[in-house]
A and B are shown apart, each in its own frame.
Chain A
């Protein structure tokens, strides 16, 4: 502990022990505990206590009078726990009867403040910190704390109850760790008493008729198997699996979710011999007994397991496929091609779930689709993956939602009524449809997918969120349909599809709902980015009104739409696809897009469109867009001028990014500080031409960067610092005869910088010579600044000393107020 803090500690302890002094802020106490924990990592807690008698005084005071606030009581319990985590300190505290006084039956349990959940929680956390050595185990056993923890498992405060369960697991693990120091204990009967007590309690709870108790026991076990991977857990499972299995025989099965969590937690453990312990049978039985909605998460969890018998995987996958199989069965007229599942086991349960109510049907389908989507992206994805029937089922679900299915059965009719216009299912199905694009599908199904996507995109009934998902799925299918190696071209079917899509897109760009206009623009931007170079695509796009409409949306009243329109227009222009016709109503359209975007950058009242403009400009500069390279200097100067006045820090950041791209293009990539490049000759980084430095002064890029260096938003300052460091590196060889401070010019710059630091940023640097700029650049401690900026803004305030001072100061203020009252 540093001496400054040592000095402050007695005063703080006195404040904490004084019931009249209210510690108003809980977070201070938390920070204080964190600090003590850090101190204990490097120092002996015993020494700390001995060196700072004030701490012991505080503890004794609390033990004697308990007249402090509950939050201080809780703090003290936790603090003692942290101290006692070291065995020597534990002994020291125990000699003074302090531990028993605080954690024993005559301790915190008998205080009136025990009613406060925070005190109970402090008691548990204190014990949890303390339980780190064999002496602690004896203490726990002797003090009767374990029984109290059992009781606290059912605490009305969920935090306390959960912490109690965690503590039990912690104690069990500690006991077994101590006990297992010799040979592994295979007989539960030979376990340490403390462990036996806990296991017996869990076993009793599993036999209980009350669901909350069963849930508590299951949670303890789930955590145990999740956390402990020693051989003893196998013995534990061997003993407790029969009562767990008995739970499945009850009707209804109690605490289903906790049971499933336990089974999966056990199955993920590496130490158990599953075949021997009957876990697979139990999982299989559970999967067949639970309702489809309950079994879904368990099936997914089972399929995610690394080592799992194929038979069980097949069963679990069957559970996930069942609802979709029912959908296919209900809507397919002829027996047709083989469906998802040949067997019908469990299908009646699924049918019941699908037909029982709208919410049950929607819930089951959404869950199933989400599970399958997750599964397809995992390495454990079942193989063979039934791509064709899954795709068929998903398309059918979408058709049920839009009412275009002609169902063959009465169940199909019911489903049609239930799912008609159901946005939740539509969204889930579109998500899954997008994922299914990764697989290989027969052409006729791909065409069906395109048809249902077109229908969804076209339908006036589609909600904005459904449309967004439909756009996303469409993009994925276009990307993945009939991919041929080494060819990113669109397939003829995709082109036909686009021919039908563009008129719909036109309509969507005119939608009265801004979300729709926005998603349509985003979709269009992606399309152009992918296929903007392909002749067929360009032709299809050009023959539609889409580019013109997209351009018109630059003036949309909604800022998000304007931002997206900026992105689209930028992309169109990059690909040479910009709208050619200018409407007379739109004066801006008659000018070039560059001017339109400049106009938005300098006048738009919202940040999003301005940020979007800068992203486009940066891309244009990077890619050498014709409008930019015509007069790059003018372009950069105009942009920087607009950006320097911008109130949005992200715009200023983007401005620096653009400046960096400009510099890199002129001066080469920044030198890499990579060990592998050390031996290589310095890349032919061109030495900046003096005229270029003149240009930088004229732009004025220097001024912009210096100004940003003092930006009140840290990321901007950081970026500016990086930029200036880059500039300094690149100009090291350009040193002129003058040193910093030599010229009156640079002196005035220094003066201006000083004023800026003091908050007067209105004054420009004025026309400066490159030499002066370079001199300032070198005179600045950029590395130091970079280091400072890298730290979070509150690093000064975060020090323990500051924390202690703050706490004392708060109390001091309280004292003053008290004095004022008299």
Chain B
């Protein structure tokens, strides 16, 4: 989502973007915060010479190891954000969206965040599921819709947890313990985070925990340009929430307990550290603020403010950044650093359960998921294990999905259907021949009645029109059935043929009419009459053959 403006505004994109409402609103907040953070500290100049490869390799690590620096872009502007968002068409879960008649796409709840979706892309006979960041844990969003993913030909699996060894429950426990420990010792806690997502769950955990941990008097500050909108938005997206939270709305109560924290003044939110916050600021306290990379945003001030005291603690909960790299510019640092990444997305155990449940014919996933992480090469459990083995892809690789399109659905116009006379050739199987015009538009195929036989041209104009109409030949009937050789020979004899000889071949029989120097080759799906330029004889024999076959 954060890259959307780069796609829609810089690539000549002219299409439509489909997204759920919370995705768009929260995406807007996240981008707004980013733009705000960046624009707060405008740069008079931007250096670009270092991107020269010869210079780059002389730079210290990690700069010299950065890849494709030439493609790095400046941050987009709010105008570009708005323009990108204007291309979004909002959709709801389970809504079916037709794309050019070729496929139908449907978003399903993925259980990871408010409005987060997995997608089903299906035609009449094929179904591809695209599973991105999903969660089976009971957190705030609607639970993941697994049932709709069943019967997929292909399941594309992406967005698994970045920290497969860290169990979110354990990490939340760790987060709470370290927070309480620091505050009880008189220190402050800094939580670098995004303004939406896990923070809602963290606030909920703290809501339950602060009283029991004796932290009722400790202020919690949430500082972000979009803090207020984020907290309020979360409360109004009732239909996107899990069942428990939805039912609260009917009481009516706010679905998230952070409303109560705000009411009781335990949680205060500010757009930035300037203004009201500097008046209210009281220590020891807990501060939630961005950006989790520690490179910009209000978090930088707190790192500078609290970094020198070992009483304070910074707790990393976002898994997107290496905390060691994030901290590198602040070293030496006296404050304690705790890394408890909370990533609720699917881990490999959950994936294997999901695949057992959903049973797709094929699984397609990034190459990284098909082998254990390089740092833990022995952990055979940290990879996707499924049968048949998952098909993997690399970045920018174009993949042919492992299925063939065998059928297309074609509609028959009612008047044409009305004219058909099916004939039962086997019990339960009826056939009818159709003469029609196949009309294809927007990937939809319709059989229409053939045009009426051409009227004799009455004028030049009419004639020209009739030229467009396809030439309809008189159709020969289709034949079915098989020819019983003995009876056929008897019939031939009855009709005056003598000296008939029958030879068995691998595929059928050859009936030799030696006298007439004629040969009838009878095979399972063809019959050939070979006679020497005697058309009358051929027609006679043909009619005898046709007697044994059904026509329709």
Give me the interface of A with B, judged by CB distance under 8 Å. 403, 405-407, 410, 412-414, 416-418, 420-421, 459-462, 506-514, 516, 545, 548-549, 552, 555-558, 583, 585-586
Bound together, the chains give a CA A215 to CA B170 distance in angstroms of 48
| Interchain CB contact (< 8 A) of B217 among A510, A514, A585 | A585
Q: Are B381 and A420 in contact (CB under 8 A)?
A: yes
Which residues of chain A are near B381, meaning CB under 8 Å?
416-418, 420
Q: Are B379 and A512 in contact (CB under 8 A)?
A: no
Q: Are B170 and A417 in contact (CB under 8 A)?
A: no
Q: Are B209 and A417 in contact (CB under 8 A)?
A: no
Interface status of B550 (Cβ within 8 A of chain A): no
| Interchain CB contact (< 8 A) of B167 among A406, A421, A510, A583 | A421
Q: Are B174 and A460 in contact (CB under 8 A)?
A: yes
| Interchain CB contact (< 8 A) of B173 among A413, A418, A511, A586 | A511
Give 14 CB contacts A-B under 8 Å.
A403-B165, A410-B380, A416-B380, A417-B380, A420-B381, A421-B167, A459-B170, A460-B174, A460-B340, A510-B180, A510-B184, A512-B205, A549-B184, A552-B214
- For the complex formed, measure the closest distance between the CB of B377 and the CB atoms of chain A, giving whole angstroms: 8
Q: Are B176 and A510 in contact (CB under 8 A)?
A: yes
Knowing A403-B379, A412-B378, A549-B184 are in contact, say whether A511-B177 is a contact too (CB < 8 A): yes
Q: Are B376 and A461 in contact (CB under 8 A)?
A: no
Give me the interface of B with A, judged by CB distance under 8 Å. 165-167, 170-174, 176-181, 184-186, 205, 208-209, 211-214, 217, 340, 376, 378-382
- For the complex formed, measure the closest distance between the CB of B374 and the CB atoms of chain A, giving whole angstroms: 13
Which residues of chain A are near B180, meaning CB under 8 Å?
510
- For the complex formed, measure the closest distance between the CB of A407 and the CB atoms of chain B, giving whole angstroms: 5
Bound together, the chains give a CA A462 to CA B174 distance in angstroms of 11
| Interchain CB contact (< 8 A) of A416 among B176, B185, B205, B379 | B379
Bound together, the chains give a CA A446 to CA B171 distance in angstroms of 29
Which residues of chain B are near A512, meaning CB under 8 Å?
172-173, 176-177, 205, 208-209, 212-213
Which residues of chain B are near A556, meaning CB under 8 Å?
212
Which residues of chain A are near B165, meaning CB under 8 Å?
403, 461
Bound together, the chains give a CA A552 to CA B212 distance in angstroms of 11
Which residues of chain A are near B177, meaning CB under 8 Å?
507-508, 510-512
Which residues of chain B are near A558, meaning CB under 8 Å?
212
Most B CB within 10 A of own CB, among A403, A510, A513, A557: A510
Shortest 6 CB-CB distances between A and B: which pairs?
A417-B381, A460-B170, A510-B180, A460-B174, A512-B176, A413-B380
Nearest residue (CB) in A for B212 is A557
Nearest residue (CB) in B for A412 is B378
Nearest residue (CB) in A for B178 is A507
Bound together, the chains give a CA A549 to CA B166 distance in angstroms of 27
Q: Are B184 and A583 in contact (CB under 8 A)?
A: yes
- For the complex formed, measure the closest distance between the CB of A476 and the CB atoms of chain B, giving whole angstroms: 25
- For the complex formed, measure the closest distance between the CB of A704 and the CB atoms of chain B, giving whole angstroms: 35
Which residues of chain A are near B170, meaning CB under 8 Å?
459-462
Most A CB within 10 A of own CB, among B165, B171, B208: B165
Q: Are B213 and A510 in contact (CB under 8 A)?
A: yes
Knowing A412-B378, A417-B379, A460-B166 are in contact, say whether A513-B173 is a contact too (CB < 8 A): yes
Given contacts A417-B382, A510-B213, 6 further A-B contacts (CB under 8 A): A413-B378, A460-B167, A510-B181, A511-B176, A514-B212, A549-B181
Bound together, the chains give a CA A556 to CA B176 distance in angstroms of 15
Bound together, the chains give a CA A510 to CA B183 distance in angstroms of 10
- For the complex formed, measure the closest distance between the CB of A531 and the CB atoms of chain B, giving whole angstroms: 23
Which residues of chain B are near A403, meaning CB under 8 Å?
165, 376, 379
Nearest residue (CB) in A for B340 is A460
Q: Are B214 and A555 in contact (CB under 8 A)?
A: yes
Bound together, the chains give a CA A407 to CA B378 distance in angstroms of 6
- For the complex formed, measure the closest distance between the CB of B185 and the CB atoms of chain A, giving whole angstroms: 6
Which residues of chain B are near A506, meaning CB under 8 Å?
181
Q: Are B378 and A552 in contact (CB under 8 A)?
A: no
Bound together, the chains give a CA A403 to CA B377 distance in angstroms of 11
Q: Are A461 and B379 in contact (CB under 8 A)?
A: no
Nearest residue (CB) in B for A413 is B380
Which residues of chain B are near A585, meaning CB under 8 Å?
214, 217
Nearest residue (CB) in A for B180 is A510
Nearest residue (CB) in A for B167 is A461
Which residues of chain A are near B166, meaning CB under 8 Å?
460-461
Which residues of chain A are near B340, meaning CB under 8 Å?
460
Nearest residue (CB) in A for B372 is A413
Nearest residue (CB) in B for A461 is B170
- For the complex formed, measure the closest distance between the CB of A546 and the CB atoms of chain B, giving whole angstroms: 11
| Interchain CB contact (< 8 A) of B380 among A414, A545, A548 | A414
Q: Are A460 and B378 in contact (CB under 8 A)?
A: no
Which residues of chain A are near B184, meaning CB under 8 Å?
510, 545, 548-549, 552, 583
Nearest residue (CB) in B for A512 is B176
